[in-house]
Amino acid sequence: MNLRHINKLCKLKNKCNLIIEKIAIRQDAQGRFCLNDLHKASGGAKRHAPNEWLRNKQTIELIKELSKPEISGLEQIQPVSVIHEGNNQGTYVAKELVYAYAMWISAWFHILVIRTFDAVVTQALKMTEALTWDQQRQAGKEVRANFTGTLKDHGVTGFGYAQCTNGIYRPLFGATAAKLKQERGLDKNASLQI
């Protein structure tokens, strides 16, 4: 794989970021989406604040259902996580809750969120279909090395590295590093790199 191909992959990866109304929607290490960013993208009305939505009865019931282990197709992560410290403060939720939150705000925002998610998934599928697993793995390794090198140069450690890794693996491979290891029967401490 040559440098030109890697640069093309990086450009495609950047197009896969979830951006709604010019607001980048952050994700945590488990792939949950930041409600605070979605709130800004929706216009930021006080009545649409994430804490207001999290208090309503239907939301509480949704979270309870998503927390059940028998819900198929979900990684065993909590549907809601709140980060109180650092640069990534906010309330992070599973994709299903993103749709519910968008629907609660307005029909317009709900459609916008669905279409944005569809576009991101379509782009990621096109990108992964074009590469073999070995090419994906090599590309992921090279892109990750570039990103983590930059993070290291800026003093980022620990959780920042995990976010970077998952930010690369999700669009390239369709899953987080933990999920990929699980799918391939690898130990949770094993390296996905060649």
169 belongs to a structural domain:
yes
What pTM was estimated for this model as a whole?
0.58
- Looking at the chain, the whole-number percentage of residues with pLDDT higher than 90 is 38
- Looking at the chain, the whole-number percentage of residues with pLDDT higher than 70 is 75
60 belongs to a structural domain:
yes
Say if residue 14's pLDDT is above 60: no
Counting the structural domains of the chain, the total is 1
For 143-164, the pLDDT digits (tens) are 767 766 776 776 767 776 677 6
Which span out of 39-53, 79-93, 116-130 was modeled with the highest average pLDDT? 39-53
Residues 6+ apart with CB under 8 A from 49: 39
List, as one string, the DSSP characters of 106-134: -HHHHHHHHHHHHHHHHHHHHHHHTS-HH
Of the pLDDT bands very low, low, confident and very high (cuts 50, 70, 90), residue 1 is very low
193 belongs to a structural domain:
no
138 belongs to a structural domain:
yes
194 belongs to a structural domain:
no
For 22-33, the pLDDT digits (tens) are 999 999 888 899
